[in-house]
Amino acid sequence: MESELTTEEQSEQKISKREDWKKKKELEEARKAGTAPAEVDEEGKDINPHIPQYIASAPWYYYGRDGEKLPTLKHQRPQPEKQLSFSDPDKWFKRGVKTGPVATKFRKGACANCGSMTHKKKDCFERPRKVGAKFTGDKIAPDEHMQPDLSFDYDGKRDRWNGFNPEEYQAVIDEYSKVEMAKRQLKEQKMTEDLLAGRISQDRRDEDLEEDSMRREGDSDEEDDEDKYADNIDMAGQKFDSKRRITVRNLRIREDTAKYLLNLDPNSAYYDPKTRSMRENPYKNKHLEEVSYAGDNFVRQTGDTVKMAQEQLFAWEASGKGTDVHLQADPTKLELLHKEFKVKKDDFKQNQKGSILEKYGGAEHLEAPPKQLLLAQTEDYVEYSRHGTVLKGQEKAVTKSKYEEDVLINNHTAIWGSYWRDGRWGYRCCHSFVKMSYCTGEAGKQVAQMEMADMELRNFGEEQEEEDEEEAPKSLLEQHQEELKKNKKKKKKERLDAEEKEKRDKEKKLKKALKAEEERDRSYQEIMKLDERKRPYNSLAADSHEVTEEELEAFRIKRANYDDPMKNMLGNN
């Protein structure tokens, strides 16, 4: 009975915990949605409900094992009482400070090597003695200053100059100044000896001393003054450091115009200040020959950039086919292989083209005239005014034929072809349509006009006769014959329409069959690429339906002819 009660109590306890957990989750969702007030910490500040639990929950050691855990974010904030500011110069390690008087005899618990009380023998930094101070009692080392552990804040831990005393650097400056002064005195002494010996003059000595003093006082001014010392300047964009013997390359030559200043239009090419690149052309309305800069993308397409990309593509294809070649590892080998490949490819194309022309013929159709004659287009640039005169460029030359032009024969005042009427060409001076005839002048024009009037009268009479024939009544026999002709034409038209419809239906069925054959061939190729163990069951089984005439014709069209010399060209595009 007690065990049953215990089980019921346990189940009730689990149910109550589950309900409390559900209520807690509902309260969290309400706080996130803004319908419930936010949780308040021990300082009276609202806690953001969107803060993750692993940040908002305080660790167990913050309040202690037995302490009450209240909602707070105090453990995430800096603790000023436990940290030192990086700006406090007095809080730093003391270097070389000895504490108290030096002992005269060994003390118990001291270092066995040097006799200091602040460390043990294994931590001693002095040279290991042959007989330690523990046994000799001589030369007892003084005790070191025991510095307490310093705890800095975030900035104090990362301050590179924390604990630096600028007064200590004055000794280094004094040392260098003493060395410079000694060098100067030695040089003055040497030049005085040369002056007494007669090797140099007094003026030369004074000039050298003055120049040396100027150089020592202002090395930085001498490097920057490019106008005064123009002979010492190297090439533009470089700065030679004589002390370190290196050449420093500037990021940009200052004489060049910055890319973002080439076109001040905000809708122009975009300039990326981080990489200092401008990919598009800032001068879109100008020719490439007129501008000095056409964008980074244009530069990438010039020089050997395209050639290098082609060689990289060739290296990838060759590596995929088993050839050990790499662009960066062995560029010479790759270039030789690429040249050999291009030569063999050209030879193969020429041989293939020659074999096809030899077998099928048609070489005469490949000899096409130039594009200027076919399309009547050239690359010559010409600008015209609104009146038609040439402003810029060379005017187009007048096309001349192979025949003689403006040659007048047989007393004609106009050339052959200057007159046209009723589909015939003639002479404009006499209206004659006979080539190589003698000119008759105005008399020939009058005769031609009379002939034209007679021809118009004759045509008018024929039209009147045709109208009269149409108005005459037809006999029964003529009507019957016309009816038979109409029926015959109607039947012929219906037969032709039926044949045309049947032909169109066959073409539609053939197109549908060709499409189905392509789909079947593609699925077959995909199945054949798979492993035999991964193919679907009965994937290669044949269809059981009856093959139609269109399907058979589609199979014949799509079937590969191994005797065809053009079969290797299929699928290359």
Express each pLDDT in 54-110 by its tens digit. 888 888 777 655 556 678 888 888 776 655 555 555 667 776 677 778 888 899 999
- When computed from its CA atoms, the radius of gyration of the chain, rounded to whole angstroms, is 54
Q: Is 551 found in the same domain as 463?
A: no
CA distance 16 to 270: 65
* pLDDT on residue 364: 80
Q: Is 229 found in the same domain as 309?
A: no
Amino acid present at 447:
V
Angle (CA) 266-270-272 rounded to 5° is 125
Q: Where are the alpha helices (DSSP H) in 158-201?
A: 170-197
Residue 428 in any domain: the answer is yes
Q: Are 110 and 84 in contact (CB under 8 A)?
A: no
Residue 98 in any domain: the answer is no
Q: CB atoms < 10 A from the CB of 180, how many?
A: 11
Q: What is the dihedral of CA 293, 295, 297, 302, to 10 degrees?
A: 0
Q: Which residues pair with 40 in a beta bridge?
A: 46
Q: Is 349 found in the same domain as 307?
A: yes
Residue 217 in any domain: the answer is yes
CA distance 430 to 432: 5
* pLDDT on residue 280: 85
* pLDDT on residue 236: 46
- Give exposure, 48-86, as e/b (b: 16+ Cβ within 10 Å): ebeeeeeebebeeeeeeeeeeeeebbeeeeeeeeebbeb
In this structure, what token pair is assigned to residue 125?
């930094």
Residue 117 in any domain: the answer is no
CA–CA distances in Å: residue 504 to residues 303, 491, 495, 498: 56, 20, 14, 10
Q: Is 295 found in the same domain as 355?
A: yes
* pLDDT on residue 459: 76
Amino acid present at 13:
Q
- Could you give phi then psi for residue 424, rounded to 5 degrees? -125, 150
Q: Is 244 found in the same domain as 176?
A: yes
Q: Is 349 found in the same domain as 291?
A: yes
Amino acid present at 18:
R
CA–CA distances in Å: residue 35 to residues 19, 30, 234: 21, 5, 74
3-state secondary structure labels for all residues of 283-350: CCCCCHHHCCCCCHHHHHCCCCHHHHHHHHHHHHHHHHCCCCCCCCCCHHHHHHHHHHHHHHHHHHHH
* Spatial CB neighbours of 290, under 8 Å, sequence gap ≥ 6: 283
Q: What is the dihedral of CA 273, 278, 284, 290, to 10 degrees?
A: 110
* pLDDT on residue 219: 55
Residue with tokens 């239906």: 505
* pLDDT on residue 230: 45
- Pick the closest to residue 95 from 157, 168, 174 (CA basis): 168
Domain count, the chain: 5
Decide: helix, strand or coil at residue 383.
Answer: strand
Residue 295 in any domain: the answer is yes
* Spatial CB neighbours of 236, under 8 Å, sequence gap ≥ 6: 253, 255
Q: Is 353 found in the same domain as 285?
A: yes
Q: Is 429 found in the same domain as 347?
A: no
* Spatial CB neighbours of 42, under 8 Å, sequence gap ≥ 6: 70, 71, 72, 74
Q: Are 143 and 117 in contact (CB under 8 A)?
A: yes
Residue 538 in any domain: the answer is no
Decide: helix, strand or coil at residue 149.
Answer: coil
* pLDDT on residue 553: 84
334: exposed, middle or buried (Cβ count in 10 Å: 0-12, 13-18, 19+) = buried
Q: Is 565 found in the same domain as 520?
A: yes
Residue 200 in any domain: the answer is yes
> Residue 425: which H helix or E strand, with range?
strand 424-426
Q: Are 338 and 311 in contact (CB under 8 A)?
A: yes
Of 294, 329, 360, the residue at which a domain comes to its end is: 360
Per the structure, the complete domain to which residue 555 belongs is given by 508-533+545-573
Angle (CA) 419-420-425 rounded to 5° is 85
Q: Is 234 found in the same domain as 181?
A: yes
Residue 341 in any domain: the answer is yes
Q: Is 237 found in the same domain as 269?
A: no
Q: Is 243 found in the same domain as 196?
A: yes
List, for the chain, all residue ranges whose pLDDT scores fall below the cut of 70: 1-5, 63-69, 80-91, 95-96, 214-255, 371-373, 376, 395-400, 463-474, 542-544, 560-573
CA distance 114 to 131: 10
Total residues belonging to the chain:
573
Express each pLDDT in 518-532 by its tens digit. 888 888 888 888 888
DSSP of 451-467: HHHHHHHHHHHHHHHHH
